[in-house]
Amino acid sequence: MLGKPRIIRATWTLLTLALLSACGQQPADPAPKLVSVASTGPTTVEVAFSEAVESGATVAANYAITPSLAVSQASLDVQKTKVTLTTAPQSNVQYTLKVSGVRDLKGNPIDPAADSKTFTGTAPAAGDGDGDGLSDADEVSGWEVQVKQGDGSIAKRTVTSDPDKPDTDGDGLGDKEERSNFTDARSSDTDQDGLGDFDEIKKWASSPTDVDSDGDAKGNPSLFDGNEIKLHGTSPTLADTDGDKISDYDEIIVRGGAYNPLIANVPQLELSLQGTTDLSVNVKYNDASNTQYTRSTSLEQGTSTSTSSTDTQTRRVEASVSATVGAELSAGTEGVSTTVSASVTVSAGFSNENTRSYTQDSTRTSQQRQEDIVSEGSVSGRTIDDGRIGVGLMVKNTGDVSFKLEDLVITALFRDPSDPTRFRTIASLTPAIPAGGVTLSSGGQTGVLDARNVAIPADQALELMAHPNNLFFQFSTYNLTDQEGRNFEFLREVTLAQTALVVIDYGNGSVRRARVATNVERQNGKIVGVTMKKVLDDILELPFATEPRQGGPRVLTSLFDPNKGHNVQRDPVNRALWAVVGSSNLSIPAGSDFEDILLKPGTEIHLLYVQDRDDDGLFASEEYYYGTRDDNPDFDSDGLKDGEEVKGGWGVAVVGKAPRKVFPNPTVADFDSDGLNDGQEKLRGTDPFKADTDDDTTTDDKDPAPLDPSVTGNRPPVIDSFSASISGFVATVSASVSDPDANLSKVEIDWGDGSPRSTLTSNFAAINTTHKYSAAGTYTVKLTATDASGVSVSQQGNVQASIPRDGLLGEYLFNNNANDTSGNNKNGSISTTACVQPAANRNGLASKAYEFNNGSGAGCGDSSGTYGRISTANLGFSGSFSYSVWIRPLTNNDQWILGQNNSNGSQPWAALVIGNPNALGGTGGRVSFILTGSGPTLTVADSANVSTSAWVHYVVSVSSGGGQTTVKLYRNGTQVATASGSGSYANPSSTNNFLMGNAALNSTNAVFRGLMDDVRVYNRALSDGEIQALYSDSNS
């Protein structure tokens, strides 16, 4: 039947922390007192206490009556405020009762100032006309009734009963019971609070002589016992029905109906992923080099706006009952039996985690990377270790309660592909939260909280790479405190004991959670729980409908979604229904109608709208998660339904190896590109992620026995020779590759620096390929030869890109000094320091270069003869040598940069200059190099004018041998000039200094004006690769 909302109270919203101040310091708990003692028969005495008692209350020895009257039994009533004593026969005399050893529910002993009272014994009755156990005389004489009013005052009156009627007022309580409870036998509602005496005593366990049993009314009649039940549906015995630390009075009266006293106002946290999810492992060589490299993948979140998304908790519940629900969908769409249950333990219902779907491209890349890593790790002498995971997270406050979040720990879970009901913990992530925590008001959210580089076992990292869509995140632990520093942990202790969690997932991205009060309805004073009908009709006010299953109970078929404004109904055409899943501690008797399900404290119930429109075995929410669609049973058209691929899979049993189970990617028909789609792979029992399942060098599509490595139809390529070398920053691979079946397709070279691979399709027998690195470092160069069948072999080696140091005679980096860092201790000496000043280098680093003779100090370089330069002891180079220098001249006038003079110091021997200083033979406005000797002077000049606005790198390379000398000039790594000559060009002097900034040939006419840095002198000719390395170096 369709449940219609009945407006019996205002709509309540969630808790705010401001009202928690009501939970502050309370007055000391008073000790129990003896209120009254009365004989209720010849052998019974009724003892009344000021509050409920427990410990010692049923011990007969704790009740002493004088004159001596033996007490044989003490019985405590349901409300625990009265004890009935069984005594020896009494006389019509005055007795005194003294009580000891009795304590209240909190352990307080009885007040010694109020532990005794007198009473008059009852002699055996002479007559009891109505047989109600109360003598006619007692009925006529009556008894006193004391009623506590709303203002706290006590109204007293004497009442009698009719000796001819066993139940004078006909309320179901006999006159004797009325007297024992000190209620009015002539009124069915002694305290006139709207609840009859019978219901107060037998059902609600409230007080029939107190209009406000739980003391929450504060004089407001709206919260007297009867109105609590009839107007608000709240408990007359609990001042805070839903246990959220906000009293019913505050929720109903103070808040004016803004909060619902039957729905606990608790913090609500929402977790979502931000950015990429990163996974990595290390591949290590087990040799003396101990070389290792990292293999990683980054998973990008999809941008799909599919309304089939849900949260992690619902996914776990769905997984636990997927077999049952799936069978129901396959058999028909009447609705899932309410007997379905799951072992659900979900973080107290205070939090939820949004699921996400990774893009198909990043998922495929991750799976391919996993295959590559496993292949690399299978090579002898290598191991895979040091798994890592990294994510960005964000927490949002989706409730009305403000709180401070601290000590956050997130659990990463992996859903076992072979058992979708099993979730395995991968790691505990501790995101970086600012010191002192972060305070979140309603709707507030943290920034991105990084949990990066978290160690996990390498095998688990590989498992995640292979199945990235089986990775989930959920809250593990956290601390929440209010503005006064009080911890919300009480919610677990109090709220859970008074409420049940109701989760409604509409299957459209809308998920509602509520903790509803379960402790109002009672039977014989005991809590019986709350029915689903009352929860939906009266508490959540959500119209719903049920229908009977054929020969079975009534099941949920429709439920109103307030976010969408319409009913979400069972849909046979699209194979959609409502599944009702109870937690394992929620005992639902077989055959129970949905409306009659009883929620008890601490239980959970999940109402899930599940749909499998295309009948492929995947719910719509799962289709979203795996990147498939709910309107196409075979998304990748590989002959297998999506559910078969995700949940079914198949076994792979390679001869000589342990069997394993594989679950193909439902979005890619032929993931391993072996020519077999996943349906064909299943028929063959091969691995859909591995083109050559048995590693016999023949791809599965061409292998006559793809699971037996001893049977093959193709021989792999052969790497006949391979070497990886480097000169400076330029690496060279020399190799020869062949194929015994003349089937070689391509050769690829991975240079190990993330740059595009070099791909060769011819000249395999004489491979000679170069690559320039952009930074110093050690790189793994890998050559892979692949034949037309996709069979490949690889070989690799390491190269180290670095600044050349072999043959280095002097190195002057000008780091605020002219010291030699080559290790040869040929430190430079600065002349006229005022004319050689520290300056910023080409990278903008202060005091990492020198500025020469800029004319701004001491008349540097003027006609007075004042100039600055740096000189060193003779560097001892001759024959073959090289200069390397960075310059930025202020002008392009004739000037000496650096070099050495001849034996008499009157002419240069080997000088790098600008223009033609001292008529040495250079070219005006350009950088030139002059080398003199017995042969003709060798002069080379740049092909372009020197720049006065940018740093420029120059290298001079001189090679001498066999009576021939060749000079080459390089600008910014590129050769710009060369000259050769016969004769001797050896160093004419072993004593002349090496000079930078001025040759001192004649005063100031040749001084260098500008910036200079990183001067290096070698005793050999540098190679092109080494010159490139010097130019590419960015570390100075």
pLDDT in tens, 62-75: 999 998 888 999 99
How far apart, in whole angstroms, are the C-alpha atoms of residue 957 and residue 286? 42
pLDDT at 919: 80
Distance between CA 593 and CA 89 in Å, rounded?
54
Least confident of 99-113, 486-500, 545-559, 720-734: 486-500
Ranges of each domain in the chain: 29-226, 269-304+353-487, 638-698, 718-801, 808-1032
CA distance 589 to 320: 20
Q: Which of 96-110, 229-243, 655-669, 743-757 shows the lowest per-residue confidence on average (mean pLDDT)? A: 229-243
Res 9 pLDDT > 70: no
Average pLDDT over residues 886-891: 95
Q: What is the pLDDT of residue 1003?
A: 53
Nearest by Cα to 277 from 136, 394, 451? 451
CATH of segment(s) 29-226: 2.60.40.1220
Give mean pLDDT, residues 606-610.
85
- Residues 6 or more apart in contact with residue 485 via CB below 8 angstroms: none
In this prediction, residues 91-98 reach a mean pLDDT of 87
Q: Which two tokens stand for residue 1006?
A: 């040749």
Local confidence band at 746 (pLDDT 50, 70, 90 cut-offs):
very high
Between the CA of residue 88 and those of 42, 434, 459, 637, what are the distances in Å?
8, 73, 79, 91
Given this model, what pLDDT does residue 876 score? 86
Between CA 41 and CA 50, with CA 45 as vertex, the angle to 5 degrees is: 140
The contacts found for 165-172 with CB under 8 angstroms, 24 or more apart, are: 165/130, 165/132, 166/130, 166/131, 166/132, 167/132, 171/196, 171/197, 171/198, 172/198, 172/202
Region of poorest pLDDT, from 95-104, 263-272, 829-838, 973-982: 263-272
**Phi, psi (rounded to 5 degrees) for 532:** -65, -30
| Distance set, CA 384 to CA 296, 364, 414, 723 (Å) | 12, 21, 20, 25
Q: Residue 652: its pLDDT value, please?
A: 94
DSSP state of 259: B
Tokens of 502: 């109701």
Lowest model confidence (mean pLDDT) among 185-199, 435-449, 464-478: 464-478
Helix spans in 379-471 (H): 458-466
DSSP at 669: T
Q: Confirm if 573 and 563 have CB atoms less than 8 A apart.
A: no
Please identify which residue in the block is written with the tokens 């299957």: 507
Closest Cα to residue 604, out of 826, 347, 387, 816?
347
The pLDDT of residue 723 is 95
Q: By the 8 A CB rule, do 857 and 837 touch?
A: yes
Provide the token pair at 165. Answer: 């009627």
pLDDT-derived band at 850, boundaries 50, 70, 90: very high
| CATH node for 269-304+353-487 | 2.60.120
Residue-wise pLDDT for 624-638, tens only, equals 777 788 889 899 899
DSSP-derived pairing of the beta strands 499-505 and 604-611: parallel
Of residues 469 and 60, the one with the higher pLDDT is 60
| Alpha helix segments (H runs only) across 735-839 | none
- Helix ranges (H only) for 439-492 are 458-466, 490
Residue 201: CB partners within 8 Å, gap ≥ 6? 78, 79, 173, 181, 208
Helices and strands per DSSP (H, E), number in the chain: 16, 54
Secondary structure in 3-state letters for 525-574: CEECCEEHHHHHHHHCCCCEEEEECCCCCEEEEEEEECCCCEEEECECCC
Residues 6+ apart with CB under 8 A from 784: 747, 748, 749, 750, 792, 793, 794
DSSP-derived letter for residue 518 is: -
Separation of alpha carbons 473 and 427, rounded Å: 10
DSSP string, 679-731: HHHHHHT--TT-SSTT-SSS-TTT-SSTT-TT--S-PPPEEEEEEEEEETTEE
Three-state secondary structure of 834-902:
HHEEEECCCCCCCCCEEEECCCCCCCCCCCCCCCCEEEECCCCCCCCEEEEEEEEECCCCCEEEEEEEC
Amino acid letter at 826? K
- The terminus-to-terminus CA distance of the chain in angstroms comes to 82
Mean pLDDT of 401-408: 82
Average pLDDT taken over every residue of the chain = 83
CA distances from 453 to 152, 278, 280, 426, 839 (A): 64, 8, 9, 14, 40
The C-alpha atoms of residue 250 and residue 265 are separated, in whole angstroms, by 12
Q: Are 209 and 200 in contact (CB under 8 A)?
A: no
Average the pLDDT over each of 756-760, 925-929, 1022-1026 and give the range with the smallest value: 1022-1026
Q: Which residue has the tokens 């209240």?
A: 104
Architecture of domain 718-801: Sandwich (2.60)
Average confidence (pLDDT) over 800-815: 91
Stretch 233-248: mean pLDDT: 83
Could you give the CA distance from residue 322 to residue 620 in angstroms, rounded to a whole number?
Answer: 12
CA 176/CA 178 separation, integer angstroms: 5
The pLDDT tens digits for 656-709 are 999 989 989 898 888 888 899 999 999 999 999 888 898 887 888 888 889 998
Check if the beta carbon of residue 281 is closer than 8 Å to that of residue 373: yes
Q: Residue 66 corresponds to which tokens in the numbers above? A: 């004088």
At 17 the pLDDT is: 32
**158 pLDDT band (50/70/90 cuts)?**
confident
Query: Cβ(881)–Cβ(994) under 8 Å?
Result: no
Strands 269-285 and 351-353: parallel
Name which residue leads in pLDDT, 574 or 819: 819
Contacts with 1012 (C-beta within 8 Å, 6 or more apart), sequence order: 814, 849, 850, 852, 885, 886, 887, 897, 898, 996, 997
Tokens, residue 997 = 């900034």
DSSP 721-743: EEEEEEETTEEEEEEEEE-TTS-
pLDDT band at 289 (very low <50, low <70, confident <90, very high): low
Residues 6+ apart with CB under 8 A from 974: none
Residue 328 has what pLDDT?
53
- Give the pLDDT score at 863: 59
Asked if domains 269-304+353-487 and 718-801 share a fold, the reply is no
Residue 828, CB-side half-sphere exposure with 13 Å CA sphere: 33
Hey, what CATH class is 808-1032 in? mainly beta
Cβ(183)–Cβ(215) below 8 Å = no
